[in-house]
Amino acid sequence: MNGFTVAPSSVVGGSSSTGTISLHGQAGPSGVVATLTSNTSSATVPASVSIPSGSSTGAFTIATGVVNSTTTAILAATYGVTVHNSLTITAGGLSNLSLSLNSVYGGNSTTGTVTLSAPAPIGGTSVNLSSNSASALVPATVVVPSGALSAQFTVATIGVDSLVSATITATLGVTSKTAVLSITPATLAGFTIAPASVTGGATATGTISLHGQAGPSGISVSVASNIAAASAPATVAFPAGSTSGTFTINTGVVNSTTTAIFAVTYGVTVHNSLTITAGGLSNFTLSLNSVYGGNSSVGTVTLSAPAPGGGTVVSLSSNNSNATVPATVTVSAGSNSAMFTVTTVGVDAVATSTITASLGGISINRSLAINPAALAGFGIAPSSVVGGYAASGTISLQGQAGPSGIGVVITSNSTAAIVPATVTIPAGSTGMSFNINTSVVSANINAVLAATYGVTVHNSLTITSGGLSTFSLSVNNVHGGVSSTGTVTLSALAPAGGVVVNLASNNSNATVPATVTVLAGSDTASFTVNTVGVDSVVNATITATLGATSIDRSLTINPAALIGFSIAPINVTGGSSATGTILLQGQVGPSGVSVTVSSNTAAATVPATVVIPAGATSGTFAIDTGVVASTTNAVIAVTLGVTTHGSLTINPGGLFSFADTKTSHFRDLTSFRDGIIAKLCPATAGVSSGTSQRLRRPLRSA
């Protein structure tokens, strides 16, 4: 054996220390057994410690007891030789364990206190804690702070079904102290009612409180009332772990203030009272118990006494979406009734809705029958029309059409009044209008119309003569830009206010006014059909409409055509110019027109073509002439589909040029010059102001 150590070398009595033996070398195959002794019972050691084969050390526990003063224990370890060591045991071991309450209701707690025999050393003293019952819970340890003698901890409990005894143990080293805790089942602690006063029909809430928590099986508390005007459940169940429970107290309508006494019992009985005042829901009525869908009924709730300050709120409901009510209606303070509207929607078949008014525990039901819409009326406006005009029929329903709509059958006893076979009124609508078209009649007739949906309703329409009988155009074929006159004719004289006939054209090249009015006392009216130039033949349909009668007339619009050609002036001196004017029938179309021009003589020159722009009805061009020795007649031709001619007379007298002449041909050139000017141009012996000619060669003397 090489040595023997003790660590720590000083402990509080009740704590433990560790002794360690060391060898020179390793223990052999059989191991080593060293014997141990202590000189005091305050430090106990095992009789021996075994060091296994191959090991060179062996450890063992030194347990100490509580001492009142510091004690030194001498320990001896022997293996061949004996080695001694000491352990100092100081006062301060666990001396006591106490509980603040030795009996609690399950769910409540108590405080445990551990006490040492001397103040805890530096670092404090940790005491182990335990409980032998799952119903009492303690922390694993509690630490006595350095210098203190005691420390506290909480013992928590849970609800139990029956009395449970739990042992709480505190251990420090080898010293243990115990305390017994009794855990009792929960008992009734209190009973309250809120509010303490309600109007009959309203509800209150009862609250039961317990001492402790309900155990694992829960608790059932009995409840009783001394009057029928206040009712409550026979029992209130408290689930495991709960410390309180609530229940609803329903009241009935009373005619005068009444006090209800409630008793709750669980082992013991606790009482409380509830004041029930007059003013609960006593009646609920509907103004109509049967309505057409879409119509409404008025509900009235009545209290048994005037509502208190702030009023009384009555809850409302309907079990059918075809009848809706507000969520609540308030009876004003001092009043004993209030009204509300029950709104319905259209239905396809009879629907029954239950309307409920509730106040507290009182509910009153009323049944409302919602019927499909029915035919209420059939009107015609105006009641008299000129044949060809339309009237309007209007069907009205009692209530709204249901989700599938309603089909009303319409008939007429006269072919002069034309109606649709059915009129469909869509869901949610209470009526629908339709057109009654009429035709021209030669004498007044009375058409009887019938609308049928379940029942049949009749009405009549007077159709008078005077409808549109004819429509004509003064000209059915025009050149674009030229107008035609339309005339509408009625079958009879127009009534006071006149008759308005609608007009239309299917082609933008022919325009008409939107309407033409046949004046009162007349049977005809005229209007103008205006046209514009076109590049090619266009057909337009002009329509006159009165009521259901429409008459079409066709109008042909032709491109512009050549109708004339003039020249001004028609007589000019050679070298002057004239103007040619081309005249068209109608306007030129959008692309314009090109007119071919020609002359039969070089003495009159013209452009090869003349372009006349869109919308124009004529075009001009210049005719230039040359000097002529004698009167010349020029024939000018213009061609656009057809050819038209015009004549222009060109007279001599303009200045002309002449060439040099060999003087050998003339004896007296001066006489020749003067003579020829005088003879050929008597009007202008000098250079005329209007001539554009000039002498091309100067005169020279012979």
Write the pLDDT tens digit of every residue in 417-444: 999 999 999 999 999 999 999 888 878 8
Q: What's the distance, CA 408 to chain centroid?
A: 35
Same domain, 356 and 342: yes
* DSSP code per residue over 55-77: -SEEEEEEEE---SS-EEEEEEE
Give the per-residue pLDDT at 101. 97
Report the pLDDT averaged over residues 9-15.
83
CB 451, CB 457: distance < 8 Å: yes
Distance CA 336, CA 315 (A): 15
Q: How many domains does the chain have?
A: 8
Q: 654 falls in which pLDDT band (50, 70, 90)?
A: low
pLDDT one-digit tens code per residue, 155-184: 999 999 999 999 999 998 778 999 999 999
Q: Under 8 Å CB-to-CB from 525, ≥6 apart: which residues?
A: 487, 488, 501, 516, 517, 518, 519
Mean pLDDT (whole number) for 481-504? 91
* Residue among 342, 345, 365, 340 at smallest CA distance from 292: 345
Give the pLDDT score at 362. Answer: 84
Beta strands across the sheet bearing 244-251: 187-194, 203-211, 244-251, 230-231
The CATH number given to whatever domain includes residue 43 is: 2.60.40.10
Asked if 138 and 193 sit in the same domain, the reply is: no
Q: Which of 531, 558, 585 corresponds to the end of one domain? A: 558
Q: Are residues 629 and 597 in the same domain?
A: yes
Q: What is the dihedral of CA 319, 320, 325, 327, to 10 degrees?
A: 40
Per-residue pLDDT, 661: 41
Query: Model confidence over 330-378: pLDDT tens digits?
Result: 999 999 999 999 999 999 999 999 999 998 778 999 999 999 999 999 9
Given a contact cutoff of 8 angstroms between Cβ atoms, the answer to whether 494 and 518 are in contact is yes
- Among candidates 405, 409, 408, which has minimal Cα distance to 429? 405
Q: What is the mean pLDDT of the chain?
A: 90
Highest mean pLDDT pick, 10-19, 468-477, 673-682: 468-477
Residues 495 and 543 placed together within one structural domain of the fold: yes
Listing DSSP states for 489-504 in one string gives: EESS---TT-EEEEEE
Identify the pLDDT of residue 11: 84
For residues 624 and 657, state if they share a domain. no
10 Å CB burial of residue 578 (0-12, 13-18, 19+) is: buried
- pLDDT value, residue 664: 38
- The 3-state secondary structure of 375-389, one letter per residue: EEEEEEECCEEEECE
Q: Are both 192 and 233 inside the same structural domain?
A: yes
Are residues 387 and 358 located together in one domain of the fold? no
Query: What DSSP line would sit under 238-267, residue for residue?
Result: E-TT-SEEEEEEEE---SS-EEEEEEEEES
End-to-end CA distance of the chain: 182
Determine how β-strand 103-105 pairs with β-strand 175-184: parallel
pLDDT at 263: 97
Instruction: From 404, 435, 464, give the residue that closes a domain.
Output: 464
Count CB atoms within 10 A of the CB of residue 3: 13
Cα gap 133→178, rounded to integer Å: 13
Alpha-carbon 225 to chain mean position: 53
Q: Which tokens belong to 506? A: 């299917």
> Is-contact 538 554, C-beta < 8 A?
no
**Domain end residue (candidates: 184, 214, 245):** 184
Q: Are residues 319 and 391 in the same domain?
A: no
What is the domain extent for residue 408? 374-464
Show the CA angle centred on residue 516, arms to residues 384 and 554, nearest 5°.
110
pLDDT of residue 682: 40
- Report the relative pairing of strands 362-371 and 290-292 from DSSP bridges: parallel
Count of helices and strands (H, E) across the chain? 1, 63
The tens digit of pLDDT for each residue in 500-550 reads 999 999 999 999 999 999 999 899 999 999 999 999 999 999 999 987 789
Instruction: Using pLDDT thresholds of 50, 70 and 90, give the confidence band for residue 15.
Output: confident
Task: Evaluate whether 584 touches 617 at the Cβ level (below 8 Å).
Answer: yes
Residue 561 predicted with pLDDT over 60: yes
Query: What is the spatial distance between Cα 364 and Cα 355, in angstroms, rounded to a whole number?
Result: 8
pLDDT at 696: 36
The DSSP letter of residue 345 is -
Q: What is the pLDDT of residue 691?
A: 37
Say if residue 27 is in the same domain as residue 76: yes
8 A C-beta contact, residue 183 and residue 160 = yes
Q: Which residue pairs, CB below 8 angstroms and at least 24 apart, start in 423-429? A: 423/393, 423/395, 423/451, 425/373, 425/395, 425/397, 425/401, 426/401, 427/346, 427/400, 427/401, 427/402, 427/403, 428/294, 428/345, 428/346, 428/400, 428/401, 429/397, 429/400, 429/401
Same domain for 313 and 252, yes or no, is: no
Cβ–Cβ under 8 Å, residues 425 and 394: no
Q: Check residue 663 and report its DSSP letter.
A: G
User: What would the two tokens of residue 488 be?
Assistant: 């509408």
Instruction: With beta carbons less than 8 A apart as the criterion, state whether 318 and 354 touch.
Output: yes
- What tens digit of pLDDT does each residue of 661-695 get? 443 333 343 344 444 443 344 433 333 333 333 33
Q: What type of residue sits at position 606?
A: V
pLDDT of amino acid 699: 37
> Does residue 213 share a domain with residue 253?
yes
pLDDT tens string 221-275: 999 999 998 999 999 999 999 999 999 998 888 878 899 999 999 999 999 999 9
Are 588 and 640 contained in the same domain?
Answer: yes
Closest by Cα among 356, 353, 363, 357 to 330? 357
Residues in the chain, overall count: 702
